[in-house]
Amino acid sequence: MCTFNTLLKAEHLTEFICRFNIMSNKKVTKIGILCSGGDSPGMNAAIRAAVRTGLHYGLEVFGIMRGYSGMLEDDIFKMESRSVANIIQRGGTVLKTARCMEFYEHEGRKKGYENLRKRGIDGLVIIGGDGSFRGAQTFSNEFDIPCVGLPGTIDKDIAGTDFTIGFDTAVNTAVEAIDKIRDTADSHDRLFVIEVMGRDAGYIALHSGIATGAENILIPERKTYIDDIIQSLQEKEKRKKLVNLIIVAEGDDFGGGDEVAKYIKQKMPQLEVRLCILGHIQRGGTPTCMDRLIASRMGYHAVECLVEGKHNVFVGIQNNRMNYTPLNEAVKKKQRINEEWLKIVKILAT
């Protein structure tokens, strides 16, 4: 006869505990909000929504500066409705953000817990990426502090949500820049290699490349066959098509935009090849309407989760409905590139 103990194999025990703890009777009365990892446009809208929703439910709300670093350094302050006035339109984050190596160690996390405990903070809203969620999951398991994550990353690489806070703004920034570069490429019959952000994920390259009519899009999720690109360029040269845009995610396996541009120059010295690296302009700037809306919606639902006892999840949106993914699952999975997009790229670039 199959018993509970045989069903609950050791290797699944942690996952079972995490799922069981998603719903909790623990009442949250004071919440802390922090941003961790890279900044992304729309974080301020999420902070604003979480603060005002918390106050609406009668909670005390605290801001934690510079992510987990501020938690360890006790850089924590009480927030009121006025604290988040006039920030929804601003890029970056008023709470600042940082990466904290000390938080990787148990003693560091314990120091952070003590700083929360002396203020009575019994719930956290963490705005960041999968690394931030991994830290939140570990911290919650060790000290029984309910955590809810919001996906704040321009890379859109977190499984469980169709949108991440900042992606839409980053893509629109890239599209605007690439459109301007195409004007110069047209005027001078040049080939431009344009590098966009995306160390591990190619969504910015993919979306901005399709939107600007790029001839080639190189992303980390697919091997780059550079000689196929050279052959394609040679064929286009025969057809007198001298204006080409190649969009490269920085994590492309050939080495990013610089290496791609060098190789093309070497193989086709007759072409005028220019390299443009867009860099951190993609992380800043005024958030788009889309990013303000999804960040506000996610911030509101993050606090709702804590109030309702739905803990240790990250809040996402799928098919225009709120989706709640356990943090332990969020850190294991990456958002996969839809094969249809790759087919579209191939057909439209001919």
Per-residue pLDDT at 23: 58
- Is 126 part of any domain? yes
155 is catalytic: yes
- Model pLDDT for residues 210-225, shown as the tens digit of each residue: 999 998 999 998 898 9
* Whether 134 and 188 share a structural domain: no
> What mean pLDDT do residues 203-211 have?
95
> What mean pLDDT do residues 12-32 have?
62
Give the number of C-alpha atoms closer than 13 A to the C-alpha of residue 201, restricted to the C-beta side. Answer: 20
Per-residue pLDDT at 7: 35
- Is 97 part of any domain? yes
DSSP string, 81-96: GGGGTT-TT-SS-TT-
- Is 244 part of any domain? yes
* Whether 117 and 255 share a structural domain: no
Long-range contacts at 17-24 (CB < 8 A, ≥ 24 apart): 18/137, 18/141, 18/312, 18/326, 18/327, 18/328, 19/326, 21/311, 21/312, 22/310, 22/311, 22/312, 22/313, 22/324, 22/326, 23/309, 23/310, 23/311, 24/146, 24/309, 24/311
* Whether 73 and 118 share a structural domain: yes
Q: Are 229 and 216 in contact (CB under 8 A)?
A: yes
- Is 338 part of any domain? no
> What mean pLDDT do residues 130-153 have?
93
pLDDT at 179 over 90: yes
User: Band of the pLDDT at 340, cuts 50, 70, 90?
Assistant: confident
Which of these is catalytic: 39, 122, 130, 155?
155
- Is 341 part of any domain? no
> What mean pLDDT do residues 202-210 have?
95
* Whether 223 and 318 share a structural domain: no
For residue 196, the 8-state DSSP code is E
pTM above 0.75, yes or no: yes
pLDDT at 288 over 50: yes
Per-residue pLDDT at 239: 78
* Whether 182 and 117 share a structural domain: no
* Whether 28 and 132 share a structural domain: yes
Which domain range does residue 209 map to? 167-284
The alpha helices in the chain, defined as continuous H runs, are 4-7, 13-20, 43-56, 67-73, 106-117, 130-143, 167-188, 203-211, 226-238, 256-267, 289-308, 327-330, 339-348
* Whether 22 and 88 share a structural domain: yes
Amino acid present at 249: A
CATH of the domain at 210: 3.40.50.460
- Is 2 part of any domain? no
- Model pLDDT for residues 234-266, shown as the tens digit of each residue: 888 887 776 789 999 999 999 999 999 999 999
pLDDT at 76 over 70: yes
- Is 3 part of any domain? no
CA pair distance 244, 240, nearest whole angstrom: 11
CATH of the domain at 107: 3.40.50.450
For residue 310, the 8-state DSSP code is B
Number of domains in the chain: 2
- Model pLDDT for residues 303-318, shown as the tens digit of each residue: 999 999 998 999 999 9
Please give the residue that has the higher pLDDT: either 73 or 21: 73
User: Band of the pLDDT at 341, cuts 50, 70, 90?
Assistant: confident
Residue 70: beta bridge partners? Answer: none
Tokens of 59: 């909670």
- Is 52 part of any domain? yes
The helix/strand/coil state of 16 is: helix
* Whether 69 and 129 share a structural domain: yes
pLDDT at 339 over 90: no
The helix/strand/coil state of 281 is: helix
* Whether 307 and 271 share a structural domain: no
* Whether 156 and 300 share a structural domain: yes
* Whether 187 and 113 share a structural domain: no
* Whether 31 and 140 share a structural domain: yes
**Is the torsion defined by CA of 341, 199, 100, 21 positive or negative?**
positive
User: Band of the pLDDT at 1, cuts 50, 70, 90?
Assistant: very low
The helix/strand/coil state of 221 is: coil
